[in-house]
Chains A and B, each alone.
Chain A
Amino acid sequence: MNFLVLGLSYKTAPVELRERLNFASDDPGSVLRAMTDLPGMTEAMILSTCNRVEVYAASKDIPLGCARLQRYMAAYHGLDENQVKPHLYVHCGRDAIHHLFRVASSLDSMILGEPQILGQLKEAYNQAESSCTAGPVFNRLMPKAFAAAKRVRNETAIAQHAVSVSYAAVELARKIFGELTDKNVMIVGAGKMCELAARHLTGQQVGEVLVTNRTLARAQALAEQFDGRAVPFAEFPLYLSRADIVLTSTAAGGLLVTRAQLEEVIRQRKNRPMFLIDIAVPRNIDPDANQIDNVYLYDIDDLNGVIETNLRERRKAAKKAEDIIEQEIDRFYSWLRSLEATPMIVALRQQVEEIRRSETEKTLHGLRHLDAGDRRAVEALTRSIVNKLLHSPLSVLKRAGDDITGEIYLEAVRRLFDLNPDPQKSGTDAVEEGADTKQDSIS
């Protein structure tokens, strides 16, 4: 397989270099075509994200292809080749496939298991297809990479459970409330951090959204953004009993809600549970409130603890994912081999049938006294001999594709019968040569 990948990622290159090498040009098609125009290069695809810039390619001459590609990349971005070179990694053959599968499965991502990379890879492949720079190598490899990624996602916990504060908050809310559709959310304060968390929460189709802030104008602006209602800061405790989820992030606000206050609120709510997310430092809600029945209070450290556990689970899952990828690569190779077995089987059949037909014709030509029925019997006899003889070798060849030793049989048949299923070589030569060999062996 003349497949190679050349590129750099957050692991090998600083962001300054990555952004300079980014291929976010208006016409990726022309870049791709320029790459396949390089000598020996047959296929090309560019994966350019904020964490990596990689060129996947098929080339007839790997060392030459790499050298040209790397020069092209530097030149295209107006950089000196030596500036880029130390940050580049190059893989070819099985290593390149391994790299591709790992990237697709998000095992090489900065945030392990993040889901975007697969989409970005699919887009890159579509771009290569529409620019006509994807050929048989990519067309065989890419679907297998996507399938491997899907398997990793389904069979491991690599992409499960939140690894950011805002998603963790949503996930915990779901553990408490199940569906969030009729749950009211109250947002106290309007810090940057809060905004992100609030956006995730309110993006879940929640009930009413209440926003409060020391400056009413800011609260109103936020309320508009989240399709909610602004509440004056002085009055927000009165609204607490309506809120199922409360998100506080008032910087320098100090303690805004006391335990006693919340006990009263829970009573008013007839014990319906409340989820309080306090991401302010110093905290806005009395930490003791967590001891109230049906109140679940998480501060920023608690959320980070949850995220840390989830990350640990993802790292554990990554080990299993690596095994899956090895399996998928093995499977890919055996599939490739099976593809090669089919033309071999066809060629062998053709050759033998050709010999049988011509030899039978020759013999029958000399036996003119036979009537039509006898001739048919002779035909049938030769046919059944051929089929019986071929039965076992053909079934071995058919299985050769899934076997690690399969290639040996393919090679043996190729040599023994002097077969070359490559359509470029003329088939007749092979047949005649084959006929000679057969006669030799008979005499």
Chain B
Amino acid sequence: MNLNPTFGSIFLATALVSSAAAAPKKFVIDNQKLAYRNVASIESVADFETFTGKTNAVSGWISYDAATKKGSGKIVVDPATIDTGIPLRNEHMRSAGWLDTSKYPQIVFEAVKVQPTRGDEYKVTGNFTLHGVTKKVSTTVRVRYKAQGPATKAAGFDGDVVQLSTKFAISLDDYGISIPANAAGKVAKEVTISLSTYAIAN
């Protein structure tokens, strides 16, 4: 079959544009200028007290297509920056008996399966790595998208914005972290991991 060269070029260009439109966009988490907007936390609810460790040191990327609701991503948190509000407890948490942050400097969640559920919620299954141990975790993630415009600019974002938030519980035992007897009642065996982060596509 002979194609008219002009028609062929238009066809090819249209096909490329269509495929580009359908491809998920890559959003990068700004861990410099807008880092304070990213909040990762770990909450322990024990008999003596409830404490929450928080950090803004979140990095990574999200691939997301708002039209097809497909996506993937990788989020990295620096455990050495988690602040529980008490300096001595921070030191303990970073030490070899707990998170051992010098040996395991990253907490990572990497999505392997993303399924839209309802509205802006997705069931995301991924590999969660903590203390050098990787386990499969399923969680509900809320993903919200805003195309670049006056609202995103007013909020200080330079590009399309994706905001995602999630919360899931893990057992510290599963990740090789055992609670010493002297901390029993002060630290729960099961903790809740929460994340709220913004990613930008320029």
Chain A partners chain B: no
Tell me the A residues contacting B by CB distance below 8 Å.
none
